[in-house]
Amino acid sequence: MRNESLNHESVPAGLEQFVPPTSPATSGHAAGTLVDKYGRHITYIRLSITDRCDFRCFYCMAEEMEFLPRDHLLSLEECLRVIRTFVAMGVTKVRITGGEPLVRRNALWLLREAARLEGLKELVVTSNGSQLERYAAEMVEAGVKRVNISLDTLRADRFKAITRVGELDKVLRGIDAAVAAGFRGIKINTVMMRGVNDDEFIDLTRFAVAKGIDLSFIEEMPLGDIDRSRADTYFGSDEALALLRPHFELVGSSESTGGPARYWRIPGTRTKVGFISPHSHNFCDSCNRVRITCKGELYPCLGQNDALPLVPLLRAHPDDDAPLRQAIVDSMGIKPKGHDFNEQMHDPKVVRFMSMTGG
Protein backbone atom coordinates (compact mmCIF):
# COMPACT_ATOMS: atom_id res chain seq x y z
CA MET A 1 0.00 0.00 0.00
CA ARG A 2 1.44 3.36 -0.99
CA ASN A 3 1.65 6.23 1.40
CA GLU A 4 0.90 9.33 -0.67
CA SER A 5 2.11 11.67 2.07
CA LEU A 6 5.74 10.62 1.64
CA ASN A 7 8.24 12.85 -0.12
CA HIS A 8 9.07 10.87 -3.23
CA GLU A 9 12.14 13.01 -3.91
CA SER A 10 13.88 11.11 -1.09
CA VAL A 11 13.22 7.70 -2.68
CA PRO A 12 16.12 6.18 -4.64
CA ALA A 13 15.74 6.51 -8.42
CA GLY A 14 13.49 3.83 -9.85
CA LEU A 15 11.72 3.09 -6.57
CA GLU A 16 9.24 5.97 -6.55
CA GLN A 17 6.20 3.70 -6.77
CA PHE A 18 7.48 1.22 -4.20
CA VAL A 19 7.33 3.34 -1.07
CA PRO A 20 6.91 1.06 1.98
CA PRO A 21 3.61 1.17 3.92
CA THR A 22 5.17 2.68 7.05
CA SER A 23 6.06 6.34 6.76
CA PRO A 24 9.41 7.83 7.80
CA ALA A 25 7.59 9.86 10.42
CA THR A 26 6.26 6.74 12.18
CA SER A 27 9.13 4.34 11.55
CA GLY A 28 12.15 6.61 11.85
CA HIS A 29 13.55 5.12 8.64
CA ALA A 30 14.17 6.73 5.28
CA ALA A 31 11.55 6.50 2.57
CA GLY A 32 12.37 3.91 -0.07
CA THR A 33 13.71 1.44 2.47
CA LEU A 34 12.07 -1.82 3.56
CA VAL A 35 9.91 -1.40 6.63
CA ASP A 36 7.34 -3.97 7.74
CA LYS A 37 3.94 -3.24 9.23
CA TYR A 38 5.43 -3.29 12.75
CA GLY A 39 7.97 -0.60 11.89
CA ARG A 40 10.97 -2.95 11.71
CA HIS A 41 13.61 -1.88 9.20
CA ILE A 42 14.91 -4.73 7.02
CA THR A 43 18.62 -4.23 6.40
CA TYR A 44 19.85 -7.83 6.33
CA ILE A 45 19.15 -10.79 4.04
CA ARG A 46 20.28 -14.38 4.30
CA LEU A 47 20.49 -16.02 0.88
CA SER A 48 20.94 -19.76 0.47
CA ILE A 49 22.70 -20.69 -2.76
CA THR A 50 22.38 -24.46 -2.38
CA ASP A 51 20.50 -27.05 -0.35
CA ARG A 52 23.41 -29.46 -0.74
CA CYS A 53 25.92 -30.12 2.01
CA ASP A 54 28.79 -32.53 2.51
CA PHE A 55 27.62 -33.15 6.11
CA ARG A 56 24.31 -34.56 7.35
CA CYS A 57 23.97 -32.95 10.79
CA PHE A 58 21.04 -34.66 12.49
CA TYR A 59 19.39 -31.43 13.71
CA CYS A 60 19.60 -29.87 10.23
CA MET A 61 18.97 -32.64 7.70
CA ALA A 62 17.53 -36.10 7.26
CA GLU A 63 20.05 -38.92 6.91
CA GLU A 64 18.78 -39.62 3.38
CA MET A 65 18.13 -36.23 1.82
CA GLU A 66 16.48 -35.61 -1.53
CA PHE A 67 18.14 -32.54 -2.95
CA LEU A 68 16.58 -30.24 -5.50
CA PRO A 69 17.36 -30.76 -9.17
CA ARG A 70 19.94 -28.19 -10.18
CA ASP A 71 17.60 -26.51 -12.66
CA HIS A 72 15.23 -25.76 -9.75
CA LEU A 73 17.86 -23.64 -8.05
CA LEU A 74 18.38 -19.94 -8.49
CA SER A 75 21.24 -19.46 -10.91
CA LEU A 76 24.15 -17.52 -9.52
CA GLU A 77 23.23 -14.68 -11.86
CA GLU A 78 19.71 -14.69 -10.37
CA CYS A 79 21.21 -14.75 -6.87
CA LEU A 80 23.22 -11.65 -7.75
CA ARG A 81 20.12 -9.96 -9.17
CA VAL A 82 18.20 -10.62 -5.94
CA ILE A 83 21.08 -9.27 -3.84
CA ARG A 84 21.44 -6.20 -6.05
CA THR A 85 17.71 -5.45 -5.79
CA PHE A 86 17.69 -5.73 -2.00
CA VAL A 87 20.80 -3.56 -1.67
CA ALA A 88 19.16 -0.89 -3.84
CA MET A 89 16.30 -0.89 -1.32
CA GLY A 90 18.48 -0.27 1.72
CA VAL A 91 19.85 -3.69 2.70
CA THR A 92 23.42 -3.29 3.92
CA LYS A 93 24.29 -6.82 5.07
CA VAL A 94 24.11 -10.05 3.06
CA ARG A 95 24.87 -13.49 4.42
CA ILE A 96 25.48 -16.30 1.93
CA THR A 97 24.39 -19.67 3.31
CA GLY A 98 23.37 -23.18 2.29
CA GLY A 99 23.46 -26.15 2.84
CA GLU A 100 27.16 -25.62 2.53
CA PRO A 101 27.55 -22.64 0.18
CA LEU A 102 31.15 -23.44 -0.76
CA VAL A 103 30.14 -26.70 -2.44
CA ARG A 104 28.22 -24.65 -5.02
CA ARG A 105 30.25 -24.46 -8.21
CA ASN A 106 31.53 -20.93 -8.92
CA ALA A 107 30.34 -19.63 -5.55
CA LEU A 108 33.41 -17.37 -5.45
CA TRP A 109 32.16 -15.59 -8.57
CA LEU A 110 29.00 -14.61 -6.73
CA LEU A 111 30.98 -13.45 -3.69
CA ARG A 112 33.22 -11.24 -5.83
CA GLU A 113 30.33 -9.67 -7.71
CA ALA A 114 28.21 -9.09 -4.62
CA ALA A 115 31.09 -7.50 -2.74
CA ARG A 116 31.35 -4.84 -5.47
CA LEU A 117 27.78 -3.59 -5.00
CA GLU A 118 27.59 0.02 -3.89
CA GLY A 119 25.73 0.27 -0.60
CA LEU A 120 26.58 -3.22 0.63
CA LYS A 121 28.57 -2.76 3.80
CA GLU A 122 29.06 -6.36 4.84
CA LEU A 123 29.22 -9.64 2.96
CA VAL A 124 29.29 -12.66 5.27
CA VAL A 125 29.36 -16.43 4.75
CA THR A 126 28.12 -19.21 7.00
CA SER A 127 30.00 -22.47 6.47
CA ASN A 128 30.46 -25.88 8.03
CA GLY A 129 34.20 -25.34 7.66
CA SER A 130 34.84 -28.30 5.39
CA GLN A 131 35.92 -26.20 2.40
CA LEU A 132 37.71 -23.37 4.18
CA GLU A 133 41.16 -24.89 3.97
CA ARG A 134 40.75 -24.61 0.20
CA TYR A 135 38.83 -21.35 -0.16
CA ALA A 136 39.44 -19.07 2.86
CA ALA A 137 42.14 -16.92 1.27
CA GLU A 138 40.15 -16.48 -1.94
CA MET A 139 37.05 -15.52 0.06
CA VAL A 140 38.93 -12.70 1.78
CA GLU A 141 40.32 -11.58 -1.58
CA ALA A 142 36.78 -11.64 -3.01
CA GLY A 143 35.57 -9.24 -0.32
CA VAL A 144 33.98 -11.45 2.34
CA LYS A 145 34.31 -9.63 5.66
CA ARG A 146 33.33 -12.31 8.14
CA VAL A 147 32.75 -16.04 8.28
CA ASN A 148 30.69 -18.10 10.71
CA ILE A 149 31.73 -21.72 11.15
CA SER A 150 29.51 -24.43 12.61
CA LEU A 151 31.27 -26.45 15.30
CA ASP A 152 29.24 -28.35 17.89
CA THR A 153 31.99 -30.48 19.42
CA LEU A 154 35.76 -30.89 19.70
CA ARG A 155 35.54 -34.67 19.96
CA ALA A 156 36.12 -36.54 16.71
CA ASP A 157 33.79 -39.42 17.57
CA ARG A 158 31.01 -37.06 18.61
CA PHE A 159 31.57 -34.91 15.53
CA LYS A 160 31.10 -37.97 13.35
CA ALA A 161 27.91 -38.87 15.22
CA ILE A 162 26.42 -35.37 14.90
CA THR A 163 27.37 -34.83 11.26
CA ARG A 164 26.99 -38.53 10.31
CA VAL A 165 29.78 -38.21 7.71
CA GLY A 166 32.05 -35.31 8.72
CA GLU A 167 35.71 -35.30 9.75
CA LEU A 168 36.59 -32.98 12.63
CA ASP A 169 40.22 -32.54 11.61
CA LYS A 170 39.14 -31.12 8.25
CA VAL A 171 37.04 -28.45 9.96
CA LEU A 172 39.80 -27.60 12.45
CA ARG A 173 42.21 -27.10 9.55
CA GLY A 174 39.57 -24.91 7.93
CA ILE A 175 39.34 -22.75 11.05
CA ASP A 176 43.12 -22.35 11.07
CA ALA A 177 43.00 -21.41 7.37
CA ALA A 178 40.34 -18.79 8.11
CA VAL A 179 42.46 -17.30 10.89
CA ALA A 180 45.48 -17.19 8.58
CA ALA A 181 43.45 -15.63 5.75
CA GLY A 182 42.70 -12.54 7.83
CA PHE A 183 38.92 -12.27 7.91
CA ARG A 184 37.72 -9.21 9.81
CA GLY A 185 35.70 -11.54 12.01
CA ILE A 186 35.48 -15.29 12.60
CA LYS A 187 32.82 -16.86 14.75
CA ILE A 188 32.06 -20.42 15.77
CA ASN A 189 28.37 -21.34 15.97
CA THR A 190 27.51 -24.09 18.44
CA VAL A 191 24.01 -25.56 18.65
CA MET A 192 23.35 -26.43 22.30
CA MET A 193 21.92 -29.92 22.86
CA ARG A 194 21.40 -31.43 26.30
CA GLY A 195 23.01 -34.83 26.63
CA VAL A 196 24.81 -34.37 23.32
CA ASN A 197 27.39 -31.60 23.72
CA ASP A 198 26.50 -29.66 26.88
CA ASP A 199 29.59 -31.07 28.61
CA GLU A 200 31.82 -29.24 26.08
CA PHE A 201 30.67 -25.63 26.37
CA ILE A 202 33.63 -24.70 28.58
CA ASP A 203 36.10 -26.44 26.27
CA LEU A 204 34.59 -24.80 23.20
CA THR A 205 34.90 -21.40 24.84
CA ARG A 206 38.54 -22.07 25.73
CA PHE A 207 39.12 -23.14 22.13
CA ALA A 208 37.67 -19.87 20.84
CA VAL A 209 39.82 -17.85 23.25
CA ALA A 210 42.94 -19.75 22.18
CA LYS A 211 42.20 -19.03 18.52
CA GLY A 212 41.29 -15.38 19.15
CA ILE A 213 37.85 -15.80 17.58
CA ASP A 214 34.25 -15.39 18.70
CA LEU A 215 31.68 -17.99 19.70
CA SER A 216 27.88 -18.06 19.68
CA PHE A 217 25.80 -20.66 21.47
CA ILE A 218 22.46 -21.26 19.74
CA GLU A 219 19.29 -22.69 21.22
CA GLU A 220 18.08 -25.51 19.00
CA MET A 221 15.15 -24.54 16.80
CA PRO A 222 12.18 -26.84 16.02
CA LEU A 223 12.64 -27.03 12.26
CA GLY A 224 12.30 -30.21 10.22
CA ASP A 225 10.84 -33.61 10.99
CA ILE A 226 13.48 -35.46 13.00
CA ASP A 227 13.33 -38.76 14.88
CA ARG A 228 13.64 -37.33 18.40
CA SER A 229 11.97 -34.75 20.60
CA ARG A 230 13.80 -31.43 20.68
CA ALA A 231 12.15 -30.75 24.04
CA ASP A 232 14.33 -33.54 25.48
CA THR A 233 17.59 -31.98 24.23
CA TYR A 234 16.72 -28.30 24.64
CA PHE A 235 19.40 -26.32 26.49
CA GLY A 236 18.67 -22.67 27.27
CA SER A 237 20.99 -19.69 27.07
CA ASP A 238 20.57 -18.71 30.72
CA GLU A 239 21.67 -22.16 31.87
CA ALA A 240 24.65 -22.07 29.50
CA LEU A 241 25.68 -18.65 30.76
CA ALA A 242 25.50 -19.88 34.36
CA LEU A 243 27.64 -22.87 33.36
CA LEU A 244 30.36 -20.61 31.91
CA ARG A 245 30.48 -17.93 34.60
CA PRO A 246 32.57 -19.89 37.15
CA HIS A 247 35.25 -20.40 34.50
CA PHE A 248 35.32 -17.08 32.64
CA GLU A 249 34.86 -13.44 33.49
CA LEU A 250 31.95 -12.43 31.27
CA VAL A 251 31.19 -8.73 30.85
CA GLY A 252 27.95 -7.76 29.14
CA SER A 253 28.44 -5.95 25.84
CA SER A 254 26.17 -3.83 23.67
CA GLU A 255 28.12 -4.92 20.58
CA SER A 256 26.15 -6.35 17.68
CA THR A 257 27.04 -7.96 14.37
CA GLY A 258 23.64 -7.07 12.96
CA GLY A 259 22.04 -10.39 13.87
CA PRO A 260 20.17 -11.77 16.89
CA ALA A 261 23.10 -12.69 19.14
CA ARG A 262 23.61 -10.98 22.51
CA TYR A 263 27.28 -10.81 23.52
CA TRP A 264 29.55 -10.98 26.56
CA ARG A 265 33.22 -10.01 26.41
CA ILE A 266 35.98 -12.03 28.08
CA PRO A 267 38.42 -9.34 29.33
CA GLY A 268 42.04 -9.78 28.33
CA THR A 269 41.08 -11.79 25.23
CA ARG A 270 39.87 -11.03 21.71
CA THR A 271 36.85 -13.26 22.22
CA LYS A 272 33.24 -12.38 22.76
CA VAL A 273 30.67 -15.04 23.59
CA GLY A 274 27.19 -14.69 22.17
CA PHE A 275 23.86 -16.38 22.75
CA ILE A 276 21.15 -16.74 20.14
CA SER A 277 17.99 -17.43 22.11
CA PRO A 278 14.86 -17.83 19.98
CA HIS A 279 13.10 -19.63 22.85
CA SER A 280 14.22 -18.05 26.11
CA HIS A 281 14.82 -14.47 24.95
CA ASN A 282 12.74 -13.93 21.83
CA PHE A 283 14.36 -11.34 19.55
CA CYS A 284 11.45 -10.91 17.12
CA ASP A 285 10.71 -7.32 18.16
CA SER A 286 14.02 -6.21 16.67
CA CYS A 287 14.14 -8.60 13.69
CA ASN A 288 15.85 -6.87 10.77
CA ARG A 289 16.14 -9.75 8.29
CA VAL A 290 14.47 -11.99 5.75
CA ARG A 291 15.62 -15.23 4.14
CA ILE A 292 15.67 -16.37 0.54
CA THR A 293 15.97 -20.08 -0.18
CA CYS A 294 18.09 -21.55 -2.93
CA LYS A 295 14.94 -22.02 -5.03
CA GLY A 296 13.95 -18.40 -4.66
CA GLU A 297 11.36 -18.48 -1.90
CA LEU A 298 11.39 -15.35 0.27
CA TYR A 299 10.62 -16.23 3.90
CA PRO A 300 9.98 -13.13 6.01
CA CYS A 301 10.20 -15.33 9.14
CA LEU A 302 12.27 -18.46 9.75
CA GLY A 303 9.67 -19.82 12.16
CA GLN A 304 6.64 -19.55 9.88
CA ASN A 305 5.58 -21.21 6.63
CA ASP A 306 4.50 -18.10 4.71
CA ALA A 307 6.74 -17.45 1.71
CA LEU A 308 6.68 -15.49 -1.50
CA PRO A 309 8.10 -17.12 -4.67
CA LEU A 310 10.54 -14.89 -6.54
CA VAL A 311 11.57 -17.21 -9.38
CA PRO A 312 8.45 -16.67 -11.53
CA LEU A 313 9.10 -12.92 -11.45
CA LEU A 314 12.81 -13.28 -12.11
CA ARG A 315 12.26 -15.49 -15.14
CA ALA A 316 9.14 -13.79 -16.53
CA HIS A 317 10.84 -10.37 -16.38
CA PRO A 318 14.53 -10.97 -17.07
CA ASP A 319 15.19 -7.33 -17.99
CA ASP A 320 12.84 -5.56 -15.59
CA ASP A 321 13.39 -5.54 -11.83
CA ALA A 322 10.23 -3.55 -11.05
CA PRO A 323 8.01 -6.65 -10.46
CA LEU A 324 10.71 -8.12 -8.23
CA ARG A 325 10.92 -4.91 -6.21
CA GLN A 326 7.16 -4.81 -5.80
CA ALA A 327 7.10 -8.44 -4.61
CA ILE A 328 9.78 -7.68 -2.04
CA VAL A 329 7.79 -4.71 -0.76
CA ASP A 330 4.65 -6.87 -0.67
CA SER A 331 6.49 -9.46 1.42
CA MET A 332 6.77 -6.91 4.20
CA GLY A 333 3.03 -7.35 4.65
CA ILE A 334 3.34 -11.05 5.49
CA LYS A 335 6.23 -10.70 7.91
CA PRO A 336 4.63 -11.75 11.22
CA LYS A 337 5.14 -10.10 14.57
CA GLY A 338 7.02 -13.20 15.76
CA HIS A 339 7.47 -16.95 15.68
CA ASP A 340 6.08 -19.50 18.14
CA PHE A 341 9.07 -21.79 18.64
CA ASN A 342 8.13 -22.57 22.23
CA GLU A 343 4.77 -23.97 21.14
CA GLN A 344 6.47 -25.97 18.39
CA MET A 345 8.94 -27.83 20.60
CA HIS A 346 6.60 -30.84 20.90
CA ASP A 347 4.62 -30.31 17.69
CA PRO A 348 6.72 -28.62 14.98
CA LYS A 349 4.69 -26.64 12.46
CA VAL A 350 7.66 -25.91 10.20
CA VAL A 351 8.52 -29.26 8.62
CA ARG A 352 11.16 -27.97 6.21
CA PHE A 353 14.70 -28.67 7.35
CA MET A 354 17.07 -25.84 8.23
CA SER A 355 19.19 -26.76 5.19
CA MET A 356 16.21 -25.97 2.96
CA THR A 357 15.69 -22.46 4.32
CA GLY A 358 19.36 -21.60 4.77
CA GLY A 359 21.47 -22.01 7.88
The DSSP bridge partners found for residue 309 are 297
CA distance 157 to 137: 29
Residue 23 lies in a domain: no
Asked if the bond preceding 99 is cis, omega within 30° of 0, the reply is yes
* pLDDT for res 134: 98
Nearest to 131 by CA among 144, 117, 118, 121: 144
CA distance 332 to 304: 14
CATH code assigned at 270:
3.20.20.70
Domain that holds residue 102: 42-357
For residue 53, CA distances in Å to 48, 204, 219 come to 12, 24, 22
Query: Do the Cβ atoms of 109 and 150 come closer than 8 Å?
Result: no
CA distance 55 to 327: 34
Residue 260 lies in a domain: yes
Dihedral in degrees, nearest 10, Cα atoms 204, 210, 212, 218 = 0
Nearest to 214 by CA among 255, 236, 185: 185
Residue 2 lies in a domain: no
Nearest to 86 by CA among 264, 301, 292: 292
CA distance 245 to 215: 15
* pLDDT for res 336: 82
How many domains is the chain partitioned into structurally?
1
Residue 13 lies in a domain: no
Calculate helix-pair angle for 107-115, 132-142, nearest 10 degrees: 20
Cα four-point dihedral sign 94, 99, 100, 105:
negative
SS (H, E, C) the chain: CCCCCCCHHHCCCCCCCCCCCCCHHHHCCCCCCCECCCCCECCEEEEECCCCCCCCCCCCCCCCCCCCCHHHCCCHHHHHHHHHHHHHCCCCEEEEECCCHHHCCCHHHHHHHHHCCCCCCEEEEEECCCCHHHHHHHHHHHCCCEEEEECCCCCHHHHHHHHCCCCHHHHHHHHHHHHHHCCCEEEEEEEECCCCCHHHHHHHHHHHHHHCCEEEEEECCCCCCCCCCHHHHCCCHHHHHHHHCCCCCCEECCCCCCCCCEEEECCCCCCEEEEECCCCCCCHHHCCEEEECCCCEEECCCCCCCCEECHHHHHHCCCCCHHHHHHHHHHHHHCCCCCCHHHHCCCCCCCCCHHHHCC
CA distance 104 to 49: 7
Residue 231 lies in a domain: yes
Q: What is the pLDDT along the chain (359 residues), one digit of tens a residue?
A: 333 333 444 444 444 444 445 555 555 556 667 998 889 999 999 999 999 999 988 887 777 778 888 888 999 999 999 999 999 999 999 999 999 999 999 999 999 999 999 999 999 999 999 999 999 999 999 999 999 999 999 999 999 999 999 999 999 999 999 999 999 999 999 999 999 999 999 999 999 999 999 999 999 876 545 555 567 889 999 999 999 999 999 999 888 777 777 899 999 999 999 999 876 556 677 788 999 999 999 998 877 778 899 999 999 999 999 999 999 998 888 888 876 555 544 455 555 555 566 65
Cα four-point dihedral sign 192, 152, 358, 108:
positive
* pLDDT for res 343: 53
Residue 220 lies in a domain: yes
Residue 306 lies in a domain: yes
CA distance 111 to 115: 6
Residue 329 lies in a domain: yes
Considering all CA atoms of the chain, what is the largest pairwise distance in Å, rounded to the nearest integer? 62
CA distance 155 to 158: 5
Give the predicted TM-score (pTM) of the model. Answer: 0.85
CA distance 141 to 305: 37
CA distance 147 to 35: 27
